[in-house]
Amino acid sequence: MADSVAAALRHAAALLASVTDAARLEAEWLMAHALGCSRSKLLLRHMADPAPATFDALVARRASGAPLAHVTGETEFYGLILRVTPDVLVPRSDTELLIDIAREKLASRPPRRILDCGTGSGALLLAALSVWPQAEGVGIERSPAALVVARGNMAAQKEPNRATMMAGDWTRSGWMDDLGRFDLVLANPPYVATGDPDLAADVAASDPHGALFAGKDGLDDYRILIPALSRLLVPGGWAVFEIGSRQGEAVSGIAEAAGLRAEVHQDLAHRPRAVSMWHESGDAG
């Protein structure tokens, strides 16, 4: 007879303790995935049920170091359930800060057009469109495999016609010729320095390197994207970019050299995590 769900969860939490500080919580997420229900329904209705036969394999894969999102094939970002694969960065809770900043800066002027540079899974653009239901958006992505994921997530949303996921590579000339202008530009570009000793081993092993590394100092992509904002933003428009925790001063300097004002924002751990930018001559209010 199979172990009960409750017993299987206790065993799984013990196994996962070596790879995560949230072993019990992750065990519950894996069990809910195996049962095809929400975590709340799992806890309320299924604890005495027999554990599903697929659960042990899920736990073993997570215990081997595979990211939880790769094990389940999905993750939550800003209230949206998104499909993820090894071809895209797993959207992380720190990146939700970009949407919060944009909501603050554009509180009195909701954006009509939104651009997401390096859309990956589509997380930032789709989250922004969920906040502003009258907006339309464009996500550009240079990885064909990631673009497939983004388009799948776009199609799964209630109003996929408001988003366009398209191939785009800002390292190639002419990349923004046909994009037009936007009220909001979002980006979580590659920002890890090549050979950075502080990069977590599991991130280096599981996330696509093309979405991680940006030259010797991690600033290569900011040096391209930030000067382009003068052509991408409407007057009074805003850009919000994610940054590494030690890059606030450098990215702000790139913005100021491009004629933009910049403000560094901290995450919940009080580390620099994002920079918002706007035209010096534009109406930032």
Residue 66 has φ and ψ, to the nearest 5°, of -65, 135
Angstrom distance (rounded) from CA 263 to CA 251: 10
Q: What integer is the mean pLDDT of 56-63?
A: 95
Per-residue pLDDT band for 189 (boundaries 50, 70, 90) equals: very high
The 10s digit of each residue's pLDDT in 60-91 is 999 998 889 999 999 999 999 999 999 999 99
The 10s digit of each residue's pLDDT in 22-55 is 999 999 999 999 999 989 999 999 999 999 999 9
Angstrom distance (rounded) from CA 280 to CA 204: 38
CB 59 within 8 A of CB 68: no
Angstrom distance (rounded) from CA 153 to CA 62: 23
The 10s digit of each residue's pLDDT in 91-122 is 999 999 999 999 999 999 999 999 999 999 99
Per-residue confidence (pLDDT) for residue 159, from 0 to 100? 65
Q: Please state, for a pLDDT cut of 70, what percent of the chain lies above it.
A: 90
**Helix residue ranges per DSSP H, the chain:** 5-16, 23-35, 39-45, 55-63, 68-72, 96-105, 123-131, 144-156, 201-206, 220-232, 248-257
Partners of 34 in beta bridges: none
Per-residue confidence (pLDDT) for residue 191, from 0 to 100? 76
Q: Which residue has the tokens 């959207």?
A: 91
State the pTM of this model: 0.89
For residue 193, what are the contacts with CB-CB under 8 A and spacing of at least 6? 213, 214, 215, 216, 217, 218
CB 37 within 8 A of CB 55: no
CB 115 within 8 A of CB 232: yes
Using alpha carbons, select from 270, 68, 101 the residue that is nearest to residue 185.
101
